[in-house]
Amino acid sequence: MMQAYKSSSLYNKYVRQQASEAFHGKSISAASYEKIVQAHSFDLYTPNYFIRIALGLLTIVAVLFSTLLIWLISGESGDNATVALLILTAVICYTALELFVRSKQYYNAGIDNVLMCSVVVYILSAFLINDYANSYIITSVFMLILCLWLCIRFTDAFMALLSCCSLLLLIFFICMKMGDVGKTIIPFILMITSALVYFITKKLLNKQQSSFYDFCFTSVLFLTLITFYASGNYFIVKELSDKIFPDSTGNSIPLASFFWIFTITIPPAYLFWGILKKDILFIRTGIGLIAATIFTIRYYYTFFPAEIEMLVIGILVIAISSVLIKYLRTPKHGFSFEKDAYNKNDLRNAEALIIAQAFGKKTSETKGFEFGGGSSGGGGATGNY
């Protein structure tokens, strides 16, 4: 088993999360929710955010002092000795992580998160101390493997993001080794890579077998939307081109018109697609990237003084928000101003949860929500409709 946690614990946590979403979405009653929670207990330790922060800070202090202690005991100096000590410290952190998770069942408890990050930081530092041929490519490959393993082993979303970033950096450094042609096509290669990662992740997200990694996949989807836009953003391409081609004296870049069109059209396209498909991820990403587009245009072209532009934009945002709030007080076309913390697609198991609490059947760990039974279509929380 590649996961550090018991499948039953992860599965029961997933069921409780689905039940919580269904309850907050007013699809099941409080009594139904309580029955589901009682029927699916789990032993994973996940404290509230304040305790997580406190445990994380204590772990940081413990890791730093342990590193200094090992350093003082060894009394070594030099690059090779430093690399060896960093690798040794990373191994100790990973061993402690495995022991804590196995004995205490920590799951996003602060301690396990810091230990995972410590492993990544120490290994990365060990690779970057010495300069050698293709060092960045080798480092990117190793970090991709390491972060992907930590993501799979501990179902951690942050490690999933780091593995995706490592992949993009690997592609970037490989293109840099291809000469002027590779440097020219870097934006397009990164766009294609981001799109491929998005579609592969989207396909994995829709599989019931990978439900334990839903948040990891969602995080990667968000990152790929950002990196796809960033790869063609005029500001990023222009500034990186100036760094990559230090001898260049031109004020523009090849295909500058394409990158301007890409920069201006992609955020509205995200927003339009999100509205069309009722996808909140695209909507929020599109709104955020519209601000990035405005910044890019403002950086190169000044139409009015900054305070006037900020005033006009603020008035427009307030006016549009006010109109939308009034318009969506009554839900229209699947949108509503009422707070909805859960996407409609996330309630796809609400009917099964209702049937489960009504007939008291436990779920299978391998086949998903096959509760069985029932005399209705799930129209009521008690199955009487």
Q: Binning pLDDT at 50, 70 and 90, where does residue 52 land?
A: very high
Helices (H) and strands (E) in the chain, counts: 14, 0
pLDDT band (50, 70, 90) for residue 340: low
pLDDT at 341: 45
Give yes or no for residue 372 having a pLDDT over 60. no
Q: What is the mean pLDDT of residues 233-240?
A: 89
pLDDT classification of 361: cutoffs 50, 70, 90: very low
Q: Given pLDDT bands bounded at 50, 70 and 90, which one contains residue 382?
A: very low
DSSP string, 289-343: HHHHHHHHHHHH--SS-HHHHHHHHHHHHHHHHHHHHHHTSS-BTTB-SS---S-
The per-residue pLDDT for 75 is: 67
**For 177-205, what is the mean pLDDT?**
89
CA 303 to chain centre: 37
CA neighbor of 20 nearest in space, from 40, 2, 6, 1:
40
Of 159-163, 175-179, 233-237, the poorest mean pLDDT is in 175-179
Higher-pLDDT residue of 183 and 156 is 156
Q: Which residues pair with 106 in a beta bridge?
A: 45
148-164 mean pLDDT: 93
Question: Does pTM surpass 0.85?
Answer: no
For residue 376, report the phi and psi dihedrals to the nearest 5 degrees. -140, 180
Contact between 242 and 252 (Cβ < 8 Å): no
Among the listed ranges 71-85, 247-261, 365-379, which one has the minimum average pLDDT value?
A: 365-379
Label residue 344 by pLDDT band (50, 70, 90). Answer: very low
Work out the average pLDDT over 231-236.
92
Q: Residue 209 — very low, low, confident or very high, per pLDDT cuts 50/70/90?
A: low
Predicted pLDDT of residue 381: 45
State the average pLDDT over residues 209-238: 90
In the chain the first and final C-alpha atoms are separated, in Å, by 43
Q: Average pLDDT, stretch 321-341? A: 67
pLDDT of residue 334: 64
Q: What is the mean pLDDT of residues 39-61?
A: 88
Asked if pLDDT for residue 61 goes beyond 90, the answer is yes
Q: What is the mean pLDDT of residues 192-209?
A: 88
Q: Which residue has the tokens 């342990």?
A: 66
Average pLDDT over residues 320-329: 75
Which DSSP state fits 106? B
pLDDT exceeds 70 at position 366? no
Residue 163 and residue 154: Cα distance in Å, rounded?
14
Tens of pLDDT, residue by residue over 250-290, are 556 778 889 999 999 999 999 899 888 888 899 889 988 98
Q: What is the residue-wise DSSP string for 207-220?
A: -GGGGGGHHHHHHH
Q: Which residues contact 267 (CB under 8 A, 6 or more apart)?
A: 229, 286, 287, 289, 290, 292, 293
Look up tokens 């996808």; give the residue.
Answer: 279
In this prediction, residue 246 has a pLDDT band, given cuts at 50, 70 and 90, of low
Mean pLDDT for the stretch of residues 166-171: 94
**The predicted structure's pLDDT at residue 72:** 84
Sequence ranges of the domains in the chain: 1-44+349-385, 45-302, 303-335
- Of the pLDDT bands very low, low, confident and very high (cuts 50, 70, 90), residue 371 is very low
Query: Of 326 and 294, which is predicted with more confidence?
Result: 294
DSSP 127: H
**Mean per-residue pLDDT over the chain, rounded:** 81
More confident residue, 73 or 193: 193
Asked if the model's pLDDT at residue 350 lies above 50, the reply is no
Mean pLDDT for the stretch of residues 332-340? 61
pLDDT at 368: 47
Round to whole Å and give the CA distance between 213 and 129. 34
